């Protein structure tokens, strides 16, 4: 009986170690995101890409980002007579997916990971 208990304890310790290793990366990533968002500050000097990426990390929703961008007065250039229109969710998604966006690489990577997870899971929550 004692041997069975020892075997079970070893088995459970292996499972425990696997779980700790699996979630260690996730916890490190969350801590990294916390550090990044604690320094977010939207300035008038920021370009649209920077604002979109920062807001997407905070809001997790392309619609909410588009609403905010439109509310503060940003417009997207068009070829129509008017020349400009409000941003929509497809515009925000295109900005986030743009590999050449003019933002910090770390912020770009995080936002793109969140967007990919949201798209795959359709639950709109990445953690």
Residues 48-99 have pLDDT tens digits of 999 999 999 999 999 999 999 999 999 999 888 888 999 999 999 999 999 9
**Token output for 80:** 């129509």
What's the pTM? Answer: 0.75
Mean pLDDT, rounded, for 113-127? 72
Q: Residue 84 forms beta bridges with which residues?
A: 77
Question: Distance between CA 25 and CA 98 in Å, rounded?
Answer: 26
Question: Distance between CA 39 and CA 114 in Å, rounded?
Answer: 19
Q: What percentage of the chain has pLDDT greater than the value 90?
A: 54
The pLDDT confidence band at residue 118, using thresholds 50, 70 and 90, is confident
């Amino acid at each position: 009986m004692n041997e069975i208990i020892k075997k079970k304890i070893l088995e459970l310790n292996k499972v425990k170690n696997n779980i700790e290793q699996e979630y260690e990366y996730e916890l490190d990533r969350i801590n990294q995101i916390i550090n990044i968002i604690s320094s977010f500050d939207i300035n008038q000097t920021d370009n649209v890409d920077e604002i979109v990426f920062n807001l997407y990390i905070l809001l997790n929703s392309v619609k909410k980002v588009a609403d905010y961008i439109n509310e503060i007065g940003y417009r997207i250039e068009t070829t129509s007579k008017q020349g400009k229109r409000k941003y929509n969710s497809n515009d925000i998604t295109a900005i986030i997916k743009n590999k050449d966006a003019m933002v910090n690489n770390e912020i770009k990577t995080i936002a793109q990971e969140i967007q990919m997870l949201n798209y795959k899971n359709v639950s709109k929550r990445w953690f």
